[in-house]
Amino acid sequence: MEPILRVENLTHTYSAGTPFQRNAVEGMNLTVMPGEFLGIIGHTGSGKSTLIQHLNGLLRPTSGHIYLDGKDIWAQPKKIRDVRFQVGLVFQYPEYQLFEETVYKDIAFGPGNMGLDKDEIDRRVREGAAFVGLPEDVLHKSPFELSGGQKRRVAIAGVIAMEPKVLVLDEPTAGLDPQGRENILAQIRAYHKSRGTSVVLVSHSMEEVAQNVDRIVVLRDAHNFMDGTPRQVFARAEELERVGLDIPQVTKVALALKRRGLPIDTAVYTVPELERELLRLKGGAV
Amino acid sequence: MLKDITLGQYFPGHTLAHRLDPRTKLLAVVLYIVALFCAKGVVTYAIVMAALATCILVSRVKLRALTRGLKAVYVIVIFTAVMNMFFTGGTPVADVWLLRHITFEGLRTAVFMVLRIIMLIMGTFLLTYTTSPIALTDGLENALSPLKKLHVPVHELAMMMSIALRFIPTLIEETDKIMSAQKARGADFESGSIFKRAKALVPILVPLFISAFRRADELATAMECRCYHGGDGRTALHVLHYKAADYLVMIGFVVLTVGVIVLARMGF
């Protein structure tokens, strides 16, 4: 199967020619398959945000290429807006981008820019709001009257309403309480399931990514560090720990048991998996 | 795009130009500007230019950074040059078409005026490139403190200035972020009529104002929490002291300015 998005040898240099010059991303490669739920993980400053701003053409590569459906997105720079409708990007703290008088109008901003007719916009706004669990009566309120978590949902709905082929979310749960986090993640999962489009979840929490995605890409110091299924990535849990990246609590327990001499497989990241692994060991030991 | 604005940006360093007392640098810039405006002929301009070149060399600020600052004033520079070329009376360059209106005197004035603007900007930029905004406002507050006797709220003005300077990069960054977020939703700032473009700014300005007010509110609370109550009885962490180098630089600039004024009077 052809990847829907392909990043090839991407390098981006900030402040070229000043004492502040630095490469935020260096020789990076990435593919996103159709319908895939991909997680991107890395510390602050690992190049996550820079990378994803290339996916929809907000940043132009210093060198390298980005292909959407096999076509270089910068082949026709005038058409870059079309790319932005197909790769929907939800920024970190997206609630600060709200500006309209009503929630409805704010969600309609993206679809409106696409030049859709009124009925289609109306359908998309209501669908987008439903995906993020916003009740109907909120639609006619001012976005500034809402709570922080609700504002964020409005902002996410605003991107979902563009019906992008790939939805990219940069730390969608930052600054929310545990309940709010789980709600938003559950809604994203439900969205991915029912729409079947690709979703890219950027986060610095391994836990969050491990529970949700099909494949994880780990970034470190502007480079790709690992790329694989959660199992493959957490099989290298010790390496992750060594470079200071967080690993899921369950994996930590497995790792600690291994250090105490138990021949356990550390590539586990959910409680049922660990349970199964422990039972297997117990059965084998008898 | 917005990141290219370097107006008043500080490039950290450890050269003599960075270490001087901000008051010295302020005085030096004032004297330099006086000298620049008094300069009349080739000799005096050359002297001022040499002074500027020395300062640039000492500060190790890259020439590219300085010329980039000139981007903002290209229009003014070209306008000045053209105006002076055509509207200064004297001997025409040649007796054909447009050249009839261009005089030798006009060309001369145009060159000098352009040089003056460029050197003015480079000199002041050098100050902000080598002096952190905090040091600059500290210096300004200190230099203007005699005005307190006349009930000029010097401290408050300096505080307002340092807060404003402090928030310029933050607000630029914020604007960049908001613009990106709206662009990601298909906002278009680069095409359409002027009216359409002005309307396209609403999705940037509303969030920007909201965040500016929020930040102002947070800052006020944070200052109150640290018992800020204005300038009375407030001491400084970095007390400003003149050192030998400061006196030398000051003397140097006084000599430069007086020299240039005298030479200019003599017609050089």
Measured between CB atoms, which of B11, B181, B211 is closest to A94?
Answer: B181
Q: How many helices (H) and strands (E) does chain B have?
A: 11, 0
Mean pLDDT to the nearest integer, B241-267: 91
How far is the C-alpha of A230 from the C-alpha of A215, rounded, in Å? 6
Angle formed at CA A14 by CA A38 and CA A77, multiple of 5 degrees: 70
| Residue B69 confidence (pLDDT) above 80 | no
Q: By the CB < 8 Å criterion, does B60 face chain A?
A: no
The overall pTM is greater than 0.90: no
Q: Which residue of A has its CA nearest to B214?
A: A96
| Residue A198 confidence (pLDDT) above 70 | yes
| Residue B6 confidence (pLDDT) above 70 | no
- Choosing among A49, A53, A79, A99, which should be mutated to test the B contact, i.e. which has the most B CBs within 10 A? A99
Task: Give chain B positions within 8 Å (CB) of A85.
Answer: 186
pLDDT-based confidence at A284, cuts 50/70/90? low
Q: By the CB < 8 Å criterion, does A18 face chain B?
A: yes
Interface size between A and B, measured as CB pairs under 8 A? 64
Q: By the CB < 8 Å criterion, does B14 face chain A?
A: no
| Residue B107 confidence (pLDDT) above 90 | no
pLDDT for B168-185, tens place per residue? 878 888 999 999 999 999
Q: How far is B130 from chain A (nearest CA, A)?
A: 13
Phi (first) and psi of residue A14, to 5 degrees: -95, 150
DSSP 8-state symbol, B103: B
Sheet order of strands, A5-14 included: A22-32, A5-14, A63-68, A71-72
Query: CB neighbours of A73 closer than 8 A, spacing ≥ 6?
Result: A57, A66, A67, A80, A83
| Residue A55 confidence (pLDDT) above 70 | yes
The residue among B238, B256, B254, B249 whose CA lies nearest residue B16 is B249
pLDDT-based confidence at B1, cuts 50/70/90? very low
Q: By the CB < 8 Å criterion, does A190 face chain B?
A: no
Q: How far is B67 from chain A (nearest CA, A)?
A: 12
Q: By the CB < 8 Å criterion, does A128 face chain B?
A: no
Name the residue type at position A28.
M
Q: By the CB < 8 Å criterion, does B256 face chain A?
A: no
Between A73-77, B230-234, B258-262, the lowest mean confidence (pLDDT) is in: B230-234
How far is the C-alpha of B229 from the C-alpha of B92, rounded, in Å? 65
Q: Higher confidence at residue B94 or residue B18?
A: B18
Q: By the CB < 8 Å criterion, does A159 face chain B?
A: yes
Mean pLDDT to the nearest integer, B1-13: 60
Mean pLDDT to the nearest integer, B157-178: 86
Task: Give chain A positions within 8 Å (CB) of B210.
Answer: 96, 144
Q: Do residue A110 and residue B211 have CB atoms under 8 angstroms apart?
A: no
Listed by number, the residues of chain B in 210-229 with a beta carbon closer than 8 Å to a beta carbon of chain A are: 210-211
pLDDT-based confidence at A286, cuts 50/70/90? very low
Q: By the CB < 8 Å criterion, does B206 face chain A?
A: yes
DSSP 8-state symbol, B91: -
Q: By the CB < 8 Å criterion, does B231 face chain A?
A: no
How far is the C-alpha of A46 from the C-alpha of B252, rounded, in Å? 48
At B8 the pLDDT is: 54
How far is the C-alpha of A265 from the C-alpha of A251, rounded, in Å? 9
How far is the C-alpha of A70 from the C-alpha of A81, rounded, in Å? 17
pLDDT for A4-49, tens place per residue? 999 999 999 988 777 778 888 999 999 999 999 999 998 888 889 8
Give percent above pLDDT 90 in chain A: 59
Between B6-10, B210-214, B264-268, the lowest mean confidence (pLDDT) is in: B6-10
Q: By the CB < 8 Å criterion, does B199 face chain A?
A: no
Q: Which residue of A has its CA nearest to B174?
A: A96
| Residue A52 confidence (pLDDT) above 60 | yes
| Residue B108 confidence (pLDDT) above 70 | yes
How far is the C-alpha of B20 from the C-alpha of B13, rounded, in Å? 12
Q: How far is A175 from chain B (nearest CA, A)?
A: 17
pLDDT for A62-98, tens place per residue? 999 999 999 999 998 888 989 999 999 999 999 989 9
Mean pLDDT to the nearest integer, A108-125: 94
Q: By the CB < 8 Å criterion, does B171 face chain A?
A: no
Measured between CB atoms, which of B65, B177, B206 is closest to A91?
Answer: B177
Q: How far is B151 from chain A (nearest CA, A)?
A: 41
| Residue A201 confidence (pLDDT) above 90 | yes
Mean pLDDT to the nearest integer, B236-250: 87
Q: What is the CATH number of domain A5-230?
A: 3.40.50.300
Mean pLDDT to the nearest integer, A187-194: 93
| Residue A166 structure tokens | 């790939």
Q: By the CB < 8 Å criterion, does B151 face chain A?
A: no
- Its sign, for the CA torsion A175, A178, A180, A186, is positive
Measured between CB atoms, which of A18, A88, A114 is closest to B65?
Answer: A18
Q: How far is A212 from chain B (nearest CA, A)?
A: 24
Domain positions in chain A are 5-230
The residue among A167, A254, A251, A173 whose CA lies nearest residue A208 is A173
At A267 the pLDDT is: 83
At A285 the pLDDT is: 54
Task: Give chain A positions within 8 Å (CB) of B64.
Answer: 17
CA atoms within 13 A on the CB side of B193: 2
At A140 the pLDDT is: 93
- Choosing among B14, B177, B185, which should be mutated to test the A contact, i.e. which has the most A CBs within 10 A? B185
Task: Give alpha helix (H) positions in B131-243.
Answer: 133-144, 154-184, 194-200, 202-225
pLDDT-based confidence at A172, cuts 50/70/90? very high
- Its sign, for the CA torsion B71, B72, B75, B79, is negative
| Residue B268 confidence (pLDDT) above 70 | yes
3-state secondary structure chain A: CCCCEEEEEEEEEECCCCCCCEEEEEEEEEEECCCCEEEEECCCCCCHHHHHHHHCCCCCCCEEEEEECCEECCCCHHHHHHHHHHEEEECCCHHHHCCCCCHHHHHHHHHHHCCCCHHHHHHHHHHHHHHCCCCHHHHHCCHHHCCHHHHHHHHHHHHHCCCCCEEEEECCCCCCCHHHHHHHHHHHHHHHHHHCCEEEEEECCHHHHHHHCCEEEEEECCEEEEEECHHHHHCCHHHHHHCCCCCCHHHHHHHHHHHCCCCCCCCCCCHHHHHHHHHHHHHHHC
| Residue A241 confidence (pLDDT) above 50 | yes
Q: Do residue B202 and residue A99 have CB atoms under 8 angstroms apart?
A: yes
Q: Which residue of A has its CA nearest to B66?
A: A18
Q: Higher confidence at residue B1 or residue A113?
A: A113
| Residue A110 confidence (pLDDT) above 70 | yes
ipTM above 0.95, yes or no: no
- Choosing among A13, A15, A18, A95, which should be mutated to test the B contact, i.e. which has the most B CBs within 10 A? A18
Q: How far is A161 from chain B (nearest CA, A)?
A: 10
Q: Do residue B181 and residue A85 have CB atoms under 8 angstroms apart?
A: no
| Residue A237 confidence (pLDDT) above 80 | yes
Q: Do residue A97 and residue B181 have CB atoms under 8 angstroms apart?
A: yes
Q: How far is B61 from chain A (nearest CA, A)?
A: 10
